[in-house]
């Protein structure tokens, strides 16, 4: 389950509602407890093995949903499992809500099939149109969805847990684990190690930084993905933290000094908000959802997404100026506090209520 799905399920149960989750089964996960969770057998997606594609066992999902008898179905993926949930809701006459988390049309460019971009958009528009509303975590992608005919798209899902991700989570044990002295600067990257994260820019900027700063900087990458071996080969001096559970990730953020995120396919860039909530200035691509969170020269620095030299210049500026780095980090924390999850959680419960009992005249989008 994604972080957002887990968050919604916890919220609903805490508010006294029943919530059932249907999700792919991962190799290290059980099949679900049968009451509030169903895991469907899945296979790795060949270009990206960490992404699982559920097998089309629609009859199991149909039977499970019929027993649970939901008042609303919220679909978080446009893949096989999401398509099954969408179909069940429409056939059963149950209100449908969808979420657009991932900018798949842009991914088509990164995986060598740009000609598919228009076809992917056509599929996504068809998929989301029957929903009462479609959530997406960024204003720019909300506007793009509306322009493409998904008129009921709305912004939700860009909140950050400012209690979990906080400067107070700083842990000297993490710096020891990373072999970083107190006078060294830890530069951190968090995210999937995949093409769409613009890692060529990260590699080149970090190479320049390593040559310029020497032992003054400790470079740390947290995440897994298909480019993991390449990262290890091209940045052999970078520490690799791998995949981390939320508590460990929060401690790593707070124990670092700044965060660099060159991706320009983010619909929101929750990693930026997590870093900011932890008191880190963020150097991010001036693209996608990052400019909605990172205020240039206030809570971080924005750089043209494909400008490796620009990212190196931003790194040089903050590595060499402790006062500015800390000042930006303080402002980053204040910005993240404005995006705390509490207010969003209240909004979601109200939105679900409106979807179950909609006002007259609610129109579907143009397919």
- Could you report the per-residue pLDDT of 75-129, keeping only the tens digit for each? 998 888 899 999 999 999 999 999 988 776 666 565 566 677 788 888 889 999 9
Asked if 257 and 187 touch (Cβ cutoff 8 Å), the reply is yes
Q: Does residue 178 share a domain with residue 147? A: no
Strand partners, 98: 75, 134
Q: Does residue 245 share a domain with residue 129? A: no
Nearest to 263 by CA among 201, 318, 353: 201
Nearest to 86 by CA among 102, 101, 71, 97: 97
Alpha-carbon distance 76 to 71, whole Å? 17
CA 78 to chain centre: 16
Residue 172 belongs to domain spanning: 167-337
* Continuous segment of H or E residues that includes residue 331: helix 322-337
Structure tokens at 99: 């979420």
Alpha-carbon distance 68 to 37, whole Å? 10
Q: Does residue 176 share a domain with residue 137? A: no
Handedness of CA 96, 102, 106, 111 (dihedral sign): negative
Q: Does residue 192 share a domain with residue 122? A: no
Q: Which position has the token pair 């960490």?
A: 50
Q: What is the pLDDT of residues 297-341, one digit of tens each?
A: 999 999 999 999 999 999 999 999 999 999 999 999 999 999 999
Percent of the chain exceeding pLDDT 70 equals 89
Handedness of CA 236, 201, 272, 136 (dihedral sign): negative
Residue at 364 is within a domain: no
Q: Does residue 253 share a domain with residue 216? A: yes
Q: What is the pLDDT of residues 9-39, one digit of tens each?
A: 999 999 999 999 998 887 765 555 557 899 8
From 292-296, 327-331, 363-367, the region with the lowest mean pLDDT: 363-367
168 pLDDT higher than 80: yes
Alpha-carbon distance 145 to 74, whole Å? 18
pLDDT at 3: 78
140 pLDDT higher than 80: yes
Q: Does residue 15 share a domain with residue 128? A: yes
Structure tokens at 195: 């093409």
- Give the dihedral of Cα atoms 41, 73, 347, 6; nearest 10 deg: -20
Q: Does residue 152 share a domain with residue 177? A: no
Handedness of CA 144, 50, 81, 356 (dihedral sign): negative
Residue at 365 is within a domain: no
Rounded to 5 degrees, φ, ψ at 39 are -105, 130
- When divided into structural domains, the chain yields a total of 2
211 pLDDT higher than 60: yes
Q: Does residue 321 share a domain with residue 184? A: yes
Q: How confident is the model at residue 267 (pLDDT cuts 50, 70, 90)?
A: confident
Buried b (16+ CB within 10 A) or exposed e, 76-115: bbbbbbbbbbbebbeeeebbbbbbbbbbbbbbbeeeeeee
Q: Does residue 190 share a domain with residue 138? A: no
For the entire predicted model, the pTM comes to 0.85
Nearest to 198 by CA among 299, 304, 92: 304
Range 266-276 average pLDDT: 88
Q: Does residue 172 share a domain with residue 59? A: no
Residue at 363 is within a domain: no
Q: Does residue 183 share a domain with residue 328? A: yes
Alpha-carbon distance 1 to 278, whole Å? 24
Domain of 315, CATH number, reads 3.40.50.2000
From 50-64, 248-262, 277-291, the region with the lowest mean pLDDT: 50-64
Q: Which residues contact 297 (CB under 8 A, 6 or more apart)?
A: none
362 pLDDT higher than 60: no
Q: What is the DSSP string of 201-268?
A: HHHHHHHHHHHHHGGGEEEEEE---TTHHHHHHH-TTSEEEES--HHHHHHHHHHSSEEEE--S--SS
pLDDT at 278: 98
Residue at 367 is within a domain: no
Give the orientation angle of helix 322-337 with respect to helix 270-277, to 10 degrees: 110
């Amino acid at each position: 389950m994604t972080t957002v799905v887990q968050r919604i399920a916890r919220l609903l149960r805490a508010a006294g509602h029943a919530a059932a989750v249907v999700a792919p089964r991962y190799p290290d996960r059980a099949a679900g407890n049968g009451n509030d969770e169903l895991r469907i057998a899945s296979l790795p997606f060949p270009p990206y093995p960490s992404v699982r594609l559920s097998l089309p066992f629609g009859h199991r999902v149909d039977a499970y949903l019929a027993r649970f008898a939901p008042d609303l179905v919220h679909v978080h993926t446009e893949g096989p499992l999401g398509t099954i949930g969408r179909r069940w809701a429409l056939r059963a006459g149950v209100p449908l809500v969808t979420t657009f988390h991932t900018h798949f049309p842009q991914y088509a460019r990164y995986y060598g099939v740009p000609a598919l971009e228009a076809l992917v958009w056509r599929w996504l528009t068809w998929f989301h149109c029957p929903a009462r509303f479609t959530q997406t975590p960024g204003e720019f992608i909300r506007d793009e969805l509306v322009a493409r005919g998904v008129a009921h798209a709305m912004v939700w899902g860009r909140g950050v847990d400012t209690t979990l991700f906080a400067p107070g989570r700083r842990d000297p044990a993490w710096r020891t684990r990373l072999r970083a002295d107190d006078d060294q600067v830890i530069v951190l990257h968090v995210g999937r190690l995949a093409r769409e994260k613009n890692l060529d820019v990260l590699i080149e900027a970090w190479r320049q930084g390593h040559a310029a700063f020497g032992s003054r900087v400790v470079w740390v990458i947290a995440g897994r993905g298909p480019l993991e071996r390449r990262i290890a080969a091209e940045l052999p001096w970078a520490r690799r933290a791998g995949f981390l559970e939320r508590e460990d990730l929060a401690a790593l953020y707070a124990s670092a000094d700044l965060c660099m995120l060159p991706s320009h396919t983010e619909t929101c860039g929750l990693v930026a908000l997590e870093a900011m909530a932890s008191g880190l200035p963020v150097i991010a691509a001036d693209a996608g959802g990052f400019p909605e969170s990172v205020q240039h020269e206030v809570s971080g620095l924005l750089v043209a997404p494909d400008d490796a030299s620009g990212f190196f210049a931003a790194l040089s500026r903050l590595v060499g100026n402790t006062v500015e780095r800390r000042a930006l980090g303080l402002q980053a924390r204040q910005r993240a506090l404005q995006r705390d999850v509490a207010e969003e959680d209240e909004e979601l419960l109200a939105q679900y209520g409106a979807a179950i009992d909609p006002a007259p005249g609610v129109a579907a989008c143009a397919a």
